[in-house]
Amino acid sequence: MPDEPDVSDTTATTATTATTATADPNCLFCRIVAGNVPSTQVYHDDDVIAFRDRNPQAPTHVLVIPRRHVAGINAPEAADGPMLAAMVRVANAVARAEGIAKSGFRLVWNVGPDAGQSVFHLHLHLLGGRPLGWPPG
Ligand code: 5GP
Ligand code: ZN
């Protein structure tokens, strides 16, 4: 990953990179990584992709995910550190590219039923472009 994630090419694209050996064929986001399910990508590199949420909850609602299948954020291991840092760096770069870095944004990991987690491939929500209520719903 370069020093600064390059989000200059934000044209809508569908992932075409081949799936990795760790992909789960039953996982929706693995299928998005593989390009088998279309998505509107705003960023990609060798490890991470970011694409617009299908059901946006704010003017900017982007999901940042690792290419490799990781079920969730509930069992992080020390070795996951670089991947998690890369995801956060990409989220910040996308926020800047979307013009919401100064107005503010929220990064969200949903874990389990009370948080409404519905997809079990690690993903970081980037939400912004409007005032976001607190406490969240
Ligand atoms: P979770 O609720 O698991 O934290 O977030 C899953 C997110 O994935 C939801 O915000 C949902 O709208 C989004 N999502 C589900 N299926 C698709 C899809 O096929 N394409 C895209 N772009 N987003 C999806
Ligand atoms: Zn997956």
Q: Which mutation among 63, 109, 126 tests ligand 1's pocket best, with the greatest number of atoms within 8 A of CB?
A: 63
Question: Is the C-beta atom of 38 inside 6 A of ligand 1?
Answer: no
Q: Which residue's alpha carbon is nearest to atom 12 within ligand 1?
A: 55
Residue 16 confidence (pLDDT)? 38
Residue 20 confidence (pLDDT)? 45
What would the pLDDT profile of 98-132 be if each residue is shown by its tens digit? 999 999 999 999 999 999 999 999 999 999 999 99
Question: Is the C-beta atom of 118 inside 6 A of ligand 1?
Answer: yes
The reported pTM is 0.90
Helix (H) or strand (E) holding 34: helix 28-34
Question: Is the C-beta atom of 110 inside 6 A of ligand 1?
Answer: yes
What is the set of active-site residues? 123
Helix (H) or strand (E) holding 49: strand 48-52
Question: Is the C-beta atom of 54 inside 6 A of ligand 1?
Answer: yes
Residue 98's CB is within 10 A of a number of other CB atoms, namely 19
- CA nearest neighbour of 129 among 108, 97, 100: 100
Residue spans of the chain under pLDDT 70: 1-3, 9-21
